[in-house]
């Protein structure tokens, strides 16, 4: 069996199948072959309706690796804060109804 070129590859649909919505997230980290190949494709794709955004996380240089890790850390922080604000608004709406 051939070894996958990806050390991580995951696609998840963001809505239940019953909705018929095709929103999804695709995360791919190409294997560096134990550090020997830093030029791989590392992409995060977020798609909703007919729109998609692709974010690249380049690892080819030491500085790029630092920046890529900082980028994903910042995204996680912002998404966590967004979730907190969204949950607060949902609670307010539910309380008002």
Partnered with residue 30 across adjacent β-strands are 6
| Burial classification of residue 20, based on how many CB atoms lie within 10 Å of its CB (0-12 exposed, 13-18 middle, 19 or more buried) | exposed
Query: What average pLDDT is seen over the chain?
Result: 94
Q: Between 4 and 59, name the one with better pLDDT.
A: 59
Contact status, residue 64 vs residue 40, Cβ threshold 8 Å: no
13 Cα distance to chain centroid:
12
Output the pLDDT for position 49.
82
Residue 87: its pLDDT value, please? Answer: 98
E strands, 14-50, are 24-30, 42-48
Nearest CA-CA partner of 76 in 92, 90, 57? 57
State residue 14's pLDDT score.
94
Q: Is the pLDDT of residue 1 over 70?
A: no
Give backbone dihedrals phi and psi of 10, rounded to 5 degrees, phi first. -145, 130
Residue 33 DSSP symbol: T
Size of the chain in residues = 97
């Amino acid at each position: 069996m051939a070894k996958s070129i990806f050390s991580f590859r995951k696609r998840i649909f963001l809505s239940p199948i019953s909705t018929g919505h095709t929103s999804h997230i695709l995360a791919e980290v190409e294997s560096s072959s134990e550090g020997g190949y830093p030029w791989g494709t590392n992409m995060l794709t977020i798609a909703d309706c007919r729109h998609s955004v692709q974010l690249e996380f380049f690892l080819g240089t030491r500085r790029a690796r630092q920046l890529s890790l900082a980028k994903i850390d910042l995204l996680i922080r912002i998404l966590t804060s967004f979730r907190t604000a969204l949950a607060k608004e949902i609670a307010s709406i539910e309380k008002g109804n």
